[in-house]
Amino acid sequence: MTIPLKTAEQIEKMRVSCRLAAELLQMIEPHIKVGISTGELDRLCLDYITKKQHATSAILNYHGFPKSICTSINEVVCHGIPSDEKKLKNGDIINVDVTVLKDGFHGDTSKMFTVGTPSILAERLCRVTQESLYIGIKAVKPGIRLRTIGKVIQKYVEAQGFSVVRDYCGHGIGEGFHEAPQVLHYDSDDGGVILQPGMIFTIEPMVNAGDYRIRTMKDGWTVKTKDRSLSAQYEHTILVTETGCEVLTLRNDDTIDAVITHTS
């Protein structure tokens, strides 16, 4: 497995695209409220990307995906398609997944938002999922096995009574949207990959309140939990540094500093 190590110049470009992706999620947050459609959220994001950030949505038309962001509500695990017919209701939880392409480099991130007053289960699922991401990030440093990330995420999630989706994973990212390596969120063979400075990849655990199994809808994109339980996901793009890692998509609302002890 050939995993590209980014040059200093490439890393600087990644910092820019990732900062834009983080800013996009911060921009859309005040709009996520009861009554708004996911189609309107999509238009707001696309307008911001193109007119304010002078960048491109890498998601739009990617393998035919019809919208510029993914909006995954409640039992939707990932790849939910925005629609004017789908309006947010009180108690919904929604993942907004964005990827900004700027000067040839990708910035990829997602987070959960709660609409109105969520159930205790929904709120706890979102919290545990975010904490599992932070725990995975905390493990990142040069010299460790790649599988360590998935191992610590799985251990934490299952200790909370939830399950980790097996069918989707994090990925290397840079000039390519999806590069090597695949970053699994459970303990599995990693081909012996050892983390090195200059690697950039996403960590994006998808956590279900029930069983980890999933099903894909007839539209070919929307993925739901097989047992119709709630699902949550958080994602950051990570750079492996000489001493630990740098979270390239860090947002103002992240509490990650309380978890990570070995940033660059």
End-to-end CA distance of the chain: 26
Chain CA centroid to CA 35, Å? 25
> Does the pLDDT of residue 259 top 80, yes or no?
no
Q: Please, which pLDDT band fits residue 28 given cuts at 50, 70 and 90?
A: very high
Region 14-22: what's the mean pLDDT? 98
List Cβ neighbours of 61 (8 Å cut-off, separation of 6 or more). Answer: none
Q: Which residue has the higher pLDDT, 2 or 43?
A: 43
Q: Please, which pLDDT band fits residue 261 given cuts at 50, 70 and 90?
A: very low
Distance, in Å, from the CA atom of 68 to the CA atom of 97, rounded to the nearest integer, reads 9
Number of Cα atoms under 13 Å in the Cβ half of residue 84:
1
pLDDT at 257: 65
List Cβ neighbours of 174 (8 Å cut-off, separation of 6 or more). Answer: 4, 6, 10, 14, 105, 106, 200
pLDDT at 2: 85
pLDDT tens for residues 102-144?
A: 999 999 999 999 999 999 999 999 999 999 999 999 999 999 9
> Does the pLDDT of residue 258 top 60, yes or no?
no
> Does the pLDDT of residue 55 top 90, yes or no?
yes
Distance, in Å, from the CA atom of 107 to the CA atom of 196, rounded to the nearest integer, reads 20
pLDDT tens for residues 164-217?
A: 999 999 999 999 999 999 999 999 999 999 999 999 999 999 999 999 999 999
Per the rule left: phi > 0, alpha: psi between -120 and 50, beta: everything else, 241 is: beta
- β-partners of residue 236 are 203
| Angle, CA of 169, 157 and 215, to the nearest 5° | 50
Handedness of CA 215, 203, 152, 125 (dihedral sign): negative
Q: What is the pTM of this model?
A: 0.96
pLDDT tens for residues 206-246?
A: 999 999 999 999 999 999 999 999 999 999 999 999 999 99
| Angle, CA of 73, 75 and 128, to the nearest 5° | 90
Q: What is the mean pLDDT of the chain?
A: 96
% of the chain residues with pLDDT over 90: 95
pLDDT tens for residues 64-106?
A: 999 999 999 999 999 999 999 999 999 999 999 999 999 999 9
Q: What is the DSSP letter of 51?
A: I
pLDDT at 264: 35
Number of Cα atoms under 13 Å in the Cβ half of residue 134:
16
| Cβ pair 107, 53 in contact under 8 A | no
